[in-house]
Amino acid sequence: MASNSDRRSSSSASRRSAVRGGSAYDGLGRDEFGRSGLGDGLGAGAPGERYRFDASGRSRSRRGSAGSRRGLLGGSDPRHASYNRKVRLIVTCVVVAALALSAYLVAVNSSLFAIKSIVATPTQHISSETISSLAAVPEGSTLFNIDEEAIAQRIQSNPWVQSVSVTRSFPDRLDINVVERTEAAIVMLSSGTEAWRLSSDGHWIEAIAMQQDSSAATPSEQASAQAKADGVVLITDVPATVSPKSGSSCTDETVVGVLAYMQQLPSDLTARVVSYKAPSLQGISAILSGGIEVALGSPNSNIAWKGEVALAILSQYSGSISYVNVRTPDTPTWRGIDSSAADSASASASSATSTSTTTATTAVAATAARATTASTAGAVASA
């Protein structure tokens, strides 16, 4: 019969064998004491406490350090502190954005900023009433909820309008300023019964009102008189393809070519121009106040040079010529008031050809001298 000490030794040996073989753990991985075991010989008991089994099967507990316990709770871990800061920042931004949105929505619909007056600056051809009517600001609009672009587009439907600026003037006023197009010419269409205003930026503005009764002047005379009254030039003999539309851009190359001459010829010459003929690009010519016709030809990089040559010839033979041809400015020609003084392009007489060539050479030389003088003056000024 085994003694009590033998039984105790046998029980201890069994427990040690079970611990070493793993048979002492139940289906949940816990030992006979209810402690969880790890495959590496570690077990877990109370929170923060770890167990290790020695060779004899006895377990030794070791409590985690204070630092590790704080790490588990997230108290002083830098990663947790950074995360918390980010969360607080996100929450703050959301709150601020919500408050800003709420304030904006209140201001947008607040009667404090409701538009009570519209100040529209009139122009020569557009009244304040017309501008305000075209703006069509909806009733009850505020300075925050108006659509500036839509207002500007409505006003620009008037062909005289080149650009629009809409300005808020707090707390309740809307200011509208319009830049009006500048009329540059009146174009007499090939039909001979209709004429249109053309702006300096190449847009068709409106048709000229013509009197149709038999006692009235002809349409051409009416167009000429209107151009004189408006202080602009008249463009005639345009191709039949020219078809204006109010507010649209002019796309006909001959009319666009005339605009190029108007903008780039020397001011001393354009000041004397009464009208232009534009049957084609090559056929563009200017009619001066004295009735002299200056054939310009197709517009190109020589526009200014053509003007200088024409001015030189007009200056040297003032009152004695009726026609100047500067289509090719290096070899210009002219025709005198006396028909016997034929230009160099005709072969009427060798003496006339000689005279014309001499005149052209003199004109070019005079123009070159003017250019040299201007260059010298500029150099002196810069010095």
pLDDT band at 301 (very low <50, low <70, confident <90, very high): confident
pLDDT band at 243 (very low <50, low <70, confident <90, very high): very high
- 353-383 core/surface letters (b: 16 or more CB in 10 A; e: else): bebbeebbeebbebbeeeeeeeeeeeeeeee
* Whole-number percent of the chain with pLDDT over 70: 66
- pLDDT tens digits, residue range 279-299? 999 999 999 999 999 999 999
- pLDDT tens digits, residue range 20-77? 444 444 555 555 555 555 444 444 444 544 555 555 555 555 554 544 445 444 455 7
Least confident span in 40-54, 206-220, 268-282:
40-54
- What are the structural domain ranges in the chain? 23-64, 71-108, 111-180, 183-382
pLDDT(357) > 50? no
Closest CA to 359 of 372, 341, 381, 380: 341
pLDDT(367) > 60? no
| Highest-pLDDT range among 40-44, 109-113, 187-191 | 187-191
**Which one has a higher pLDDT value, 64 or 218?**
218
The residue-averaged pLDDT of 321-332 equals 96
pLDDT band at 8 (very low <50, low <70, confident <90, very high): low
List Cα–Cα distances, 56 to 9, 15, 29, 61, 117, in angstroms: 12, 10, 20, 15, 99
The residue-averaged pLDDT of 118-137 equals 96
The residue-averaged pLDDT of 328-353 equals 62
Given this structure, which CATH class describes domain 111-180? alpha beta
Compute, in degrees rounded to 10, the torsion defined by CA atoms 302, 261, 248, 154: 110
The residue-averaged pLDDT of 317-329 equals 95
Mean pLDDT of the chain: 79
pLDDT(364) > 90? no
